[in-house]
Amino acid sequence: MEKSDHKHAVVTVAICFLIAVIEGLDIQAAGIAAAGISEHFGLDKPQLGVFFSAGILGLLPGALAGGRFADRIGRKKVLICSTAVFALFTLCTVWVNSFHSLLAVRFLAGAGLGAAMPILITLASEAVSPQNRGRAVGLMYCGMPVGAALLSLIAATDFGSNWKNVFYLGGLLPIVVIPLMMLLLPESREFLQAQNQAESADNAAPKASFKDLFNEDNRIRTLCIWVSYFFTLMVVYIMLSWLPSLFMELGFSRKEGSTAQFYFMASAAIGTIILGMLTDRWKKAYVIILMYGGMLAGLFALNGAGSLTQMYMASALVGAFVIGCQGVLYAFGGIVYPTAMRGTGVGVGSAVGRIGAMLGPAIAGQLLAAGFGAAGVISAAIPCIIISAVFMLLLVRRIGQ
């Protein structure tokens, strides 16, 4: 039995990791393809900003619907459907011929991706024992920076210099993974068990609703998760969107900025795994203090980087803790909510986080336009980190871990 449980967990986490790699590719894709898309469609800077926002905006309804349906009809079915939606509309990005249709397909691709993310977290959480949830989510989520780092390398080749190839890659890879999911991905045993219990109790599937997030048991937990997701993702997306520009603002070349971004993503993959493992082994409060303290240290190091080596080291430090922290927060979503509403809880939390993800880059852009420079953007991120840390410590106290 233990052997079959182990195989179940390995297959689930491995397939979820592959989908997370594809998410990482997509996160980098818009930035890498921006110059080519701008030229092809004749876009100005504000229109390009709207193009960036369309994909992130799609993540919102996707995350809400994906988690909800996963609690109703099963994790596996919804993950396959959402991956197919993402693949189809990513390929459509290459075939559309107007700015408005470009925005529509980016929004719909984002919705597919947004629906997949809470299900990946839920599946990885439920494939292992409660004692190993942080590790499982960390191993799964490290696929995101791995995908982003891979696309950074691909972008430096002749293949990556054509913006259409970036979206062909992003659309065809999930089509390859879908048959693997259909054949190999097991449905969550916890979900099946909860469904069977509910059916034997009242002959109906478990019906967790959005209002259950605010019942007596979950109200404080939900509030803490929402605030932490919101402010942490705000910082994550400021870094993801503006890092190359911030490096240039600090006096480094575009090529040096791209290299630093690779260091950022490579160390993010390692940080996500290590922080995920520590979540299972340490007291949760220690992990939170370490990860938010590490984020602050990384931002101060980035602001004070005088040489190229210092900048690369600061980028690696920021990447390890900023992206690693996101992985830990997702693991907490899996720990905090019971099985019948885990998909809903993580999905709504992800959607709230995506609002922060949309606002963060826009606020950073305004600060840069107002002349505050890289130091102003980095300083603005510091209160966000402190607020997130305080609410996560409150959550840990609430759940007694």
DSSP string, 143-193: HHHHHHHHHHHHHTSHHHHSHHHHHHHHHHHHHHHHHHHHHHPPPPHHHHH
Nearest to 21 by CA among 164, 173, 125, 132: 173
Q: How many CA atoms lie within 13 A of 61 on its CB side?
A: 10
d(CA 389, CA 284): 12
Measure the CA–CA gap between 233 and 354, rounded to whole angstroms: 7
Contact status, residue 90 vs residue 167, Cβ threshold 8 Å: yes
pLDDT of residue 186: 75
* pLDDT for 89: 92
* Beta carbons within 8 Å of 156's beta carbon, 6+ residues apart: 258
For the cut 50, the answer to whether the pLDDT of residue 254 exceeds it is yes
Instruction: For 240-284, give the secondary structure using H, E and C.
Output: HHHHHHHHHHCCCCHHHHHHHHHHHHHHHHHHHHHHHHHHHHCCH
Average pLDDT, the chain: 79
pLDDT score, position 88: 92
Can you tell me the distance from the alpha carbon of 96 to that of 91, in angstroms, rounded to the nearest whole number? 9
- What was the pLDDT predicted at 196? 67
Burial of 356 (0-12, 13-18, 19+ CB in 10 A): buried
Which one, of 267, 246, 275, 269, lies nearest residue 258 by Cα? 246
Question: In this structure, are residues 275 and 141 in contact, taking their beta carbons and an 8 Å threshold?
Answer: no
Per-residue tokens: 21: 């790699």
How sure is the predictor about 1, in pLDDT bands with cuts at 50, 70 and 90? Answer: very low
The full set of domain ranges for the chain reads 2-399
Which of 218-222, 265-269, 297-301, 319-323 is least confident? 218-222
Q: What local confidence, expressed as pLDDT, does residue 362 receive?
A: 75
Output the pTM of the full model: 0.77
Alpha carbon separation from 261 to 49, 65, 242, 266, 385 (Å, rounded): 20, 32, 10, 9, 21
Backbone angles phi and psi of 390, in degrees to 5: -60, -45
- Greater confidence (241 vs 144) lies with 144
**Band of residue 41 on the pLDDT scale cut at 50, 70, 90:** confident
pLDDT at 189: 72
Please say if the pLDDT value at position 296 is more than 70.
yes
DSSP 401: -
| Each residue's pLDDT tens digit, 65-115 | 877 787 777 788 888 999 999 999 998 988 888 888 988 998 999 899 888
Average pLDDT over residues 185-198: 69
The answer on pLDDT for 56 being more than 50 is yes
**In which residue are the tokens 């890879």 written?**
173
Our CA angle for 135, 220, 342, nearest 5°, is: 45
Comparing 6 with 388, which gets the higher pLDDT? 388
- Stronger pLDDT, 400 or 42, i.e. the higher one: 42
Of the pLDDT bands very low, low, confident and very high (cuts 50, 70, 90), residue 376 is confident
For the stretch 73-90, what's the b/e string if a residue is b when 16 or more beta carbons lie within 10 angstroms of its beta carbon?
Answer: ebbbebbbbbbebbbbbb
Highest mean pLDDT among 91-95, 152-156, 201-205: 91-95
- Is 274 a residue whose pLDDT tops 80? yes
CATH H-level, domain 2-399: superfamily:
MFS general substrate transporter like domains (1.20.1250.20)
